[in-house]
Structure 1
């Protein structure tokens, strides 16, 4: 399909695009062996209307890519050790995007295994957003990269995910209201071994101590685990 037409299909709010990205193939060719992942799980982030989004409080140098044209990668560094990749959706200025949470490596297995340190099971090669980025060889150097280019190639399925297989629920590891059932913006395909395990946001240690101290009236505080 024409890249311009594919980009048009992404130029809608992330919650509308999410079912279309499930089953899509993303290939990264860094000049060695291309690696391709079939996407099986994503999370939608909706900019200024989403308390779980990096863009909730507006544009910064870090999240500027989110405010740009659909069809580009927003890549961020997290926990001081991992990269996560998102596909920008919507129209410029709205900062909506889809976190690539999990997928199945369907091309370039040997390179993906090497990048991931040869995990025990191929199921785990791209099971989780940091693993997926690592398997594909994605880092901050690809922030802003066009996913319809020679280096990165996103191929969308002809039709959105089968409604009978499409599952939704709260997002993984998002603190505060954005991680609640009020934001069921995690999407995945049922029956896929590569889909990650749901985990709520970790309660900060100070909050756990307050909760566990007899007679304490401390109010738990949430850490900043907002995502794109």
Structure 2
């Protein structure tokens, strides 16, 4: 008697997780590749604060296919407790692990997932924390984009660097002493994550002798964009989407 082997179905090919850079906020500044992937997406994931729509999701309003499954990823904490509180990293670590498992599960079923990322995915973005947890387990592709700081210095109407200028990018969350030291030792300067740190950033700019040169750009390349000398915005509380720019003055022909 002979037996016939029952054919087995081929394994389901893995889906790909796409970290999709959306640029600074204007949908017209998205890359052609980002637009193509988004318009063909079956699963779209995005970060947001609880109770909010999410800035990344807002940027692509009207571009997501009607049949796509949306996966909002709500941060467990943003500014409710300080960064130095041990609970901060513990809560965020658990958050990233949870959504890593969800995205891995979708990829294992052969589903591609687009993860929306404000600015560039590899530049101070939340997606990086998912990427490092996913990259050795499922296919992951990062689609780069124009950064928010590019839109900010463009909004000032003045080039950010000339010749051999050194550009330094600082986070307003750094210590005042560290901010002052780095501000004083660079040619061109971008300061991000200002928000509640604005008074500290002002003092550091003054101590470094850069205050008079600084520009404040709010909502760069978004509705409501404003551009002003920082000296003219004294006492103002800055929104989350604000960047300070100090232009270089280097070598020119």
- Report the TM range for the smaller structure's normalisation: under 0.3
- Could you tell me the TM-score, scaled by structure 2's length? 0.22
Larger Rg: 2
**Larger proportion of helix:** 2
TM-score of the superposed pair, with normalisation by structure 1: 0.23
